Amino acid sequence: MRLYNFFRNSAGYRVRAVLNLKNIPYEHVSIDIRPPVEAQFSEEFRKVNPLALIPALEHDGKIITQSSAIIEYLEELFPEPSVFPKDAVLRAQSRAFAASVAAETHALLNMRVFKFLDKELALPQAHRDKWYAHWAHKGFSALESMLRNGPDTQFAYADYPTVADIFLVPQYYNLRRIKMDLSAYPRLGEIVARCEALPAFQKAAPEAQPDYDDR
């Protein structure tokens, strides 16, 4: 099993966590998405994913793209330990939470968006910072509210990590890395701390990857 990803790629971070939680061995194939390298646009990688996006999972000669689809695929192949709650309602809610992270926060705060704001719209740094803070806090406020009204569990929707936690941790990591004040989200912080205490998440962290650097 081969995972095309990059240490600072949030979606790849999600998949690494699932692979580790399920104890699935894999090969890490680094795709440096930072300018000026931008290896995702290479002809070689476009053969893997024509959309030029990571992560991509190669298994038995087949390619699966999009982190949510990869995670569902891994769950079907390796159902234990599960990364979904057992209860049907909580399972749906955990999927909704994960989708909210991906669609309402990550999608607005990723490298492609900021490249467009910078290169195409020529937004000043102050305006880009305002964009980032607005969508980050709007998204995290909703996520905090979802969990405040959620079940009394050790993690988001179960007493073990599920897709909700797996999608939350990389996004929280990104905001913490740029020193954003996250004190208004105590439930999110509590869950992230529990996840980061687990070896599976520690092994999935950017700093633990073979292609890590501090640039």
- CATH number of domain containing 106: 1.20.1050.10
73 and 111 in a common domain:
no
Count up the domains in the chain and report the number. 2
Q: Is the Cβ–Cβ distance between 25 and 78 less than 8 Å?
A: no
- What pLDDT is attached to residue 129? 78
- In this prediction the pTM is 0.93
Q: Which domain holds residue 188?
A: 88-200
- Residue 58, helix vs strand vs coil: strand
Q: What angle do CA 205, 133, 56 make, to 5 degrees?
A: 35
Separate counts of helices (H) and strands (E) for the chain: 9, 4
102 and 67 in a common domain:
no
98 and 33 in a common domain:
no
Nearest-angstrom CA–CA distance, 169 and 37: 27
- What pLDDT is attached to residue 107? 67
Q: Classify residue 58: in a domain, yes or no.
A: yes
Helix, strand, coil shares of the chain, percent, nearest 5, are 55, 5, 35
User: pLDDT tens track of the chain, all 215 residues?
Assistant: 999 999 999 999 999 999 999 999 999 999 999 989 999 999 999 999 999 999 999 999 999 999 999 999 999 999 999 999 999 999 999 999 999 999 888 766 777 766 777 777 777 777 777 877 888 899 999 999 999 999 999 999 999 999 999 999 999 999 998 899 999 999 999 999 999 999 999 999 999 999 999 88
Nearest-angstrom CA–CA distance, 97 and 61: 32
